[in-house]
């Protein structure tokens, strides 16, 4: 494995570990304060962290040299990130167990794989496609609630995670095509500023707030700093490995979220949800191993 590839996987692993804890800290904060108020404080911390880091690395000068097309891309990413992040935190708020939310989030690498095939023309073999099918099957098992009608068939919040995966995959593919032209620091700052502006506007529109306690501030600030690191390292990983490979590594966060959620909230998924989560993890592992050429069949035929 090339050193550049190893570096890409290392960044993806750091993103996975740090973002796993974002589920926990955000769930703890969202249990106490409204989403818009939470977002205002959260992204004030993220935006400030991004600004300081970009200033320290002398990346802010890129702003004055942006082309018209790059400005349009940053605007597009801003809209996509607003949709993605709003749906992400909404799903965490709706679904009681953050581990279930994280396992359902394994729809994300499948969406990236499909986007990689049809948009970036990345090539996938039959084993990788089978892994994607397993991940989808696992997500169905996790979200199944036992109902017979479409409205009662899935647990509350499943649709939110599904659309979050679509928007997140779209944003990932856009970043992947531009990350060598626009620095990860600038991309991260752009994302944070847009989300901060949106959160502040929604805070005044909704008009709901509660007093900040020490616990709320601690959970929000800690989670925001972890998100800053997670998104930055994810962007760095896209510079060194394919978006699909990075997203597959990141999808393993469900295992870490499961362990930490049990320690913090004393919650565990239902048995069928746990099995569904295992299926999704197996699916993404198959995708990762196939992409690395572990299975001989993957080198014979690509789609």
> DSSP per residue over 67-136, as a string?
-HHHHHHHHHHHHHHHHHHHHHHHHHHHSS-HHHHHHHTTHHHHHHHHHHHHTS-----HHHHHHHHHHH
Q: How confident is the model at residue 207 (pLDDT cuts 50, 70, 90)?
A: confident
- Domain segments of the chain: what residues? 3-299
- How large is the greatest C-alpha to C-alpha distance in the chain, in angstroms? 61
**What does the pLDDT look like over 208-241, one tens digit per residue?**
888 999 999 999 999 999 999 999 998 898 888 8
**What does the pLDDT look like over 61-71, one tens digit per residue?**
989 999 999 99
Which of 23-27, 117-121, 292-296 is least confident?
A: 292-296
**What does the pLDDT look like over 71-94, one tens digit per residue?**
999 999 999 999 999 999 999 999
Taking the alpha carbons at both ends of the chain, their separation in whole angstroms is: 23
Q: Is 179 a residue whose pLDDT tops 70? A: no
Instruction: State what percent of residues in the chain have pLDDT above 90.
Output: 54
Q: Is 301 a residue whose pLDDT tops 60? A: no
What pTM was computed for the model? Answer: 0.84
Q: Is 177 a residue whose pLDDT tops 80? A: no
In this prediction, residue 242 carries a pLDDT of: 78
- Looking at per-residue pLDDT, the higher value among 125 and 159 belongs to 159
Across residues 245-265, what is the average pLDDT? 83
d(CA 77, CA 83): 10
- Looking at per-residue pLDDT, the higher value among 3 and 244 belongs to 3
């Amino acid at each position: 494995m090339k050193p550049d590839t190893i570096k890409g996987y290392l960044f993806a692993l750091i993103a996975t570990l740090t973002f796993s804890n974002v589920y926990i800290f955000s769930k703890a904060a969202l249990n106490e304060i409204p989403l818009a108020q939470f977002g205002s404080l959260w992204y004030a911390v993220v935006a400030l962290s991004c600004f300081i880091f970009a200033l320290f690395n002398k990346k802010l000068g890129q702003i004055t040299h942006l082309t018209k097309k790059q400005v349009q891309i940053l605007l597009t990413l801003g809209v996509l990130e607003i949709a993605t992040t709003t749906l992400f935190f909404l799903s965490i708020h709706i679904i009681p167990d953050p581990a279930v939310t994280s396992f359902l989030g394994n729809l994300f690498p499948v969406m990236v794989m499909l986007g990689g095939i049809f948009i970036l023309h990345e090539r996938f073999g039959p084993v990788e496609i089978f892994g994607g099918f397993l991940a989808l099957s696992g997500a169905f098992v996790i979200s199944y609630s036992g109902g017979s009608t479409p409205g009662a068939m899935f647990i509350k919040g499943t649709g939110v995670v599904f659309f979050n995966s679509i928007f997140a995959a779209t944003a990932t593919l856009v970043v992947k095509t531009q990350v060598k032209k626009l620095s990860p620091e600038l991309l991260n700052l752009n994302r944070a500023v847009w989300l901060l502006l949106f959160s502040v506007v929604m805070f005044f529109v909704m008009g709901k707030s509660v007093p900040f306690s020490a616990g709320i501030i601690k959970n929000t600030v800690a989670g925001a700093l972890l998100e800053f690191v997670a998104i930055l390292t994810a962007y760095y990983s896209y510079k060194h490995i394919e978006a699909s490979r990075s997203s597959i590594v990141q999808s393993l966060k469900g295992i870490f979220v499961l362990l930490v959620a049990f320690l913090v909230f004393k919650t565990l998924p239902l048995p069928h949800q746990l099995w569904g989560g295992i299926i999704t993890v197996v699916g993404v592992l198959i995708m990762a191993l196939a992409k690395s050429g572990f299975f001989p069949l993957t080198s014979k035929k690509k789609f």
